[in-house]
Amino acid sequence: MTTRVPSARQMHWHEHPFYGFVHFGMNTFTDQEWGSGGEDPALFNPAQLDCRQWARVAKEVGMQRLILTAKHHDGFCLWPSRWTEHSVKHSPWKGGRGDVVAEFVEACATEGIEAGLYLSPWDRNHGAYGQPEYVEYYHRQMDELFGGAYGKLYEIWLDGANGGDGWYGGANERREIDRRTYYDFPRIIDKIRTLQPDAVIFSDAGPDIRWIGNESGTSEPACWGTIDPSKIVIGDADCSYLAAGEEGGTHWIPPEVDVSIRPGWFWHPSEAPHSLRRLISIWFTSVGHGHGLNLNIPPDRSGLFAEEDVLQLRALRHAVEANFRTDLAEGAEIEDVPDGPLTRVVHLPPKTRANCVHLEEQVEKGQHIAAFEVDVRQDGAWHRIVKGGTVGARMFVPFEAVLAEALRVRVTRAIGPVTLSRLSLYHAPNVPL
């Protein structure tokens, strides 16, 4: 079996590329991004917490999945872990008898979306952080969360961040770990595979999906789903390698674009959601480039998605729907002409107005297109409008609107047999130009 094509688990993920991150926890109440770990659990008190609202909104706007920060770097656990006192069980929320993770997975199941969890390896609360004992603690927490008590999970998000200083049981010091060896990621990944075989595992290096290399929602138009994971140290990755992938890389580990709808990952009273224009642009450089879009919506202190965030999500959904309602290539005469690895012509009604082409390769058979060009024919003459790089699972290419009588896609370089399984054309009202 070749490792250069998607597994069934990865294909499922490719088919559902839009999902949401939920950064929620102690930081929501302390107005921080990275809590030190010494925060008082008494501060956690979301008076109206309603995971059903999160799941309902996600479902309504077309997200397939939500991923909750069960534990962020500050170590505060949103479930009553047996292995620490730094959790919801010492908070006033529900008199210390609540379990946000349980409510979250149940809400996702009720709304018919998939649940995933983030469990930060870096823990600024734990006194043994940096010692082998902490790694065993992390394993016990994986057993609690992934071992079946919370049901089936669909994505496990392994964070690479490791900033050094923290509270660490009151020591208040800087602790360095060896990023290559301390966590023993292969052992962590084996455990997740055993406990949650259907979950895609995210980290800088996969094994299922990789980081795109930035948190701003952007990506390059040329990008390979393949990389060589042995070249990556989780938490110390070469971001440009992650962004480009590797032509002929050894393993299919496509990128996830993770980005927040607001400047921060956690909710802050002074921040507002990004403009619709920015969100549309993020959509094009994530879903539109064949990657996953993990769009973070941070619940506020009441425990709900903020109304202004919900309005932006709905606006994004409507903008995307309006863009791709009518495929101008549907029903058109398609002709393959013998020129290069593949040249396909779409004959259109005269003066068809278009500004976006949508291509897909059948990645089950491998990603092979390395360069392509799009031309239009006007009054009998061909004009090039776009030069592209890779195609992969999905590639939306926006361009200045043109009037055309035919459109031609020419694959100019390929590293294997070309299968253009989709060629659609739109006149999209919301393109980022």
Which residues sit at the interface with ligand FUL, rule CB under 6 A? 33, 159, 161, 258, 265
Tokens for 331, please give them. Answer: 């029903």
Shortest distance, position 21 Cβ to ligand FUL, whole Å: 7
Element of type H or E holding 422: strand 420-426
How are beta strands 173-174 and 165-166 bridged, if at all?
Answer: antiparallel
- Cα–Cα distance, 241 to 261 (Å, whole number): 25
Shortest distance, position 397 Cβ to ligand FUL, whole Å: 28
57: Cβ contacts below 8 Å, ≥ 6 apart: 297, 305, 310, 313
Q: At 423, is the secondary structure helix, strand, or coil?
A: strand
338: Cβ contacts below 8 Å, ≥ 6 apart: none
Shortest distance, position 298 Cβ to ligand FUL, whole Å: 10
For ligand FUL, the closer of residues 252 and 265 by Cβ is 265
For ligand FUL, the closer of residues 71 and 358 by Cβ is 71
Shortest distance, position 226 Cβ to ligand FUL, whole Å: 24
For ligand FUL, the closer of residues 33 and 143 by Cβ is 33
Chain residue at closest Cβ approach to ligand FUL = 161
For ligand FUL, the closer of residues 292 and 398 by Cβ is 292
Q: What is the DSSP string of 203-226?
A: ETT-SSEEE-S-SSS---SS--SE
Shortest distance, position 432 Cβ to ligand FUL, whole Å: 23
Tokens for 304, please give them. Answer: 């709900």
A 10 A CB-CB count for 417 gives 11
Residue 58's closest CA among 318, 319, 325, 296? 296
Shortest distance, position 216 Cβ to ligand FUL, whole Å: 12
For ligand FUL, the closer of residues 21 and 283 by Cβ is 21
Tokens for 37, please give them. Answer: 């770990």
Tokens for 421, please give them. Answer: 């399984």
CA angle 363, 365, 366 (to 5 degrees): 60
For ligand FUL, the closer of residues 123 and 258 by Cβ is 258
For ligand FUL, the closer of residues 161 and 403 by Cβ is 161
- Cα–Cα distance, 144 to 83 (Å, whole number): 10
Shortest distance, position 292 Cβ to ligand FUL, whole Å: 13
Shortest distance, position 157 Cβ to ligand FUL, whole Å: 8
Amino acid occupying residue 229: P
- Cα–Cα distance, 21 to 305 (Å, whole number): 12
Q: How far is CA 21 from the centre of its chain?
A: 8
Q: At 106, is the secondary structure helix, strand, or coil?
A: helix
Shortest distance, position 372 Cβ to ligand FUL, whole Å: 33
CA-to-CA separations, 304 to 57, 274, 301, in angstroms, rounded = 10, 18, 7
Q: What is the DSSP letter of 339?
A: S
Shortest distance, position 161 Cβ to ligand FUL, whole Å: 3
For ligand FUL, the closer of residues 77 and 431 by Cβ is 77
Contact 242, 228 (CB under 8 A): no
For ligand FUL, the closer of residues 79 and 265 by Cβ is 265
- Cα–Cα distance, 106 to 150 (Å, whole number): 8
For ligand FUL, the closer of residues 72 and 344 by Cβ is 72
Handedness of CA 388, 389, 390, 394 (dihedral sign): negative
Shortest distance, position 260 Cβ to ligand FUL, whole Å: 8
Handedness of CA 340, 344, 349, 351 (dihedral sign): negative
For ligand FUL, the closer of residues 258 and 360 by Cβ is 258
